[in-house]
Amino acid sequence: MKRWIAFSSIFWKDVRTYYLKPPNISWGLIFPFAWALMLFIRSESVLDIRSIVPGVVAMSILFGTTSLLAVTITFEKRRNTFDRLLLAPISFELLMLAKTSGAILFGVFNALVPIAVGAAFVGLSGMEWASLMLGVVLIAVSSTFLGLFVAVSVAEVFEAQTLSNFFRFPMMFLCGLFFPISRLPAFLRPISYVLPLTYGADILHGAVTYRHQLPLWLDFAVLLVFCAALFALSLRNIKRKWIM
């Protein structure tokens, strides 16, 4: 019982303290919303809008989760409050899940914004909602753990945001968000398949437009592997750099 009280206390403390920080509002909310609105307005047909919804959803999750982790983790370390969290009556793994669960939910919420905007423009009937929502959750988890991995590698918020952009902007163009990976130059395609967002975007395309490049079971399996690997690497870095 004490473990879950500690878990919820850490979660709600992060919600109250960090969610409305300027970097979260600018990068996590305004930027993906502005992109979504721009792309929807420029689209000339219903088919165009449906084809860009998966990419906008994936981008919104990516920017929302990584921006949030850049703030929560680096602020905790800079203020030396992370050391106090280690005294909580929970395991280190559960502690870090409490620190990242808010970002995962934030990413899922971010995904609902472009879905709602797309539904307002053209309606989104006929989608495979189960695959869509499961894909959204897995993208949120993998992007959150990617943000955690980046955040524990730097000391300041601006450094975390800058380093995150090193991953985020290439992923916008290499992961098949708005055009198929097959249209990329041949020398860039192998890079696409080592990025987790590629597999999440493929799930979303399959759910919304019924066009995916890989088997769905492979997309889900690879995303799960990425989630586990990024979380394990992040925990290792925290123990090595911040605790030991």
DSSP 113-149: HHHHHHHHHT--TT--HHHHHHHHHHHHHHHHHHHHH
Q: Is the pLDDT reported for residue 43 higher than 70? A: no
209-242 pLDDT per residue, tens: 888 888 999 999 999 999 999 999 988 888 887 6
Q: Mean pLDDT over residues 74-101, rounded?
A: 79
Residue 22: closest CA among 165, 161, 163:
161
Q: Mean pLDDT over residues 99-113, rounded?
A: 86
Per the structure block, which two tokens stand in for 234? 């992040």
4-14 pLDDT per residue, tens: 877 788 788 77
Write down the mean pLDDT value for the chain. 82
Please state the pTM of the whole predicted model: 0.88
pLDDT value, residue 45: 57
pLDDT value, residue 223: 95
Residue 236: closest CA among 151, 155, 167, 149:
149
pLDDT value, residue 114: 79
Residue 194: closest CA among 217, 213, 167:
167
Residue 114 in contact with residue 57, Cβ under 8 Å?
yes
Q: Mean pLDDT over residues 129-154, rounded?
A: 89
Least confident of 25-39, 58-72, 109-123: 25-39
- Classify residue 62 as exposed, middle or buried by CB count within 10 Å of its CB (0-12, 13-18, 19+): buried
Residue 177 in contact with residue 54, Cβ under 8 Å?
yes
Position 38 confidence tier, pLDDT thresholds 50, 70, 90: confident
pLDDT value, residue 60: 85
